[in-house]
A = this chain, B = another copy of it.
Amino acid sequence: MAATKDPRPCSIADALALVGEKYSLLVLREVCLGNGRFDQLVRNIGAPRDILATRLRRLVDAGILTKRTYSERPQRFEYRPTQAGLELEPVLMTLMAWGDRHLRKDDDRPMVIEHICGNELIPVVTCRACGDAVRHEDLTAHPQVPGWAVTGPTAA
């Protein structure tokens, strides 16, 4: 009867349960770009329409998107990010930078993000307390739940 199957409790897993399904983060990308209409999403993402409808419902339920009417008669909608959705944008930026660096030759980046400072955005994840860029060797994990120790947080 004992639950021998529950995995490590973890906010990464919880977050992925919401936005980790296929296309979900691409929906967020398009919505952050301002392309929030159903047919735009279908075209830009390349997802089947029914799957997209399912994802949109889920993201709205989760409070990551809102569905706004921009035209009554004919009824037309637009999806937009909520505050919570916008706060996921850094994840997208970091992922994009990783993809640009590791998945592409040289400078054939399909999209460049410009920061308000005038330069191209190259996202760097830093520690809020000291401001330094986060490096694996500088981290130590402290599980808060008994029974979920880690063997060695850092392993070069």
A interface size (C-beta, 8 A): 95
Q: Say if the beta carbon of A29 comes within 8 Å of chain B.
A: yes
- The answer to whether A12 touches B25 (Cβ under 8 A) is yes
- The answer to whether B5 touches A95 (Cβ under 8 A) is no
- The answer to whether B113 touches A123 (Cβ under 8 A) is no
- The answer to whether B111 touches A10 (Cβ under 8 A) is yes
Q: How far is the CB of A142 from chain B (nearest CB, A)?
A: 5
Q: Say if the beta carbon of A117 comes within 8 Å of chain B.
A: yes
Q: Tell me which residues across on chain B come within 8 A of A94, comparing CB atoms.
A: 90-91, 94, 125
Residues on A lying within 8 angstroms of B by beta carbon are 5-16, 18, 20, 22, 25-26, 29-30, 32-35, 40, 43-47, 63, 80-81, 84, 86-104, 108-132, 134, 136-145, 148, 150-155
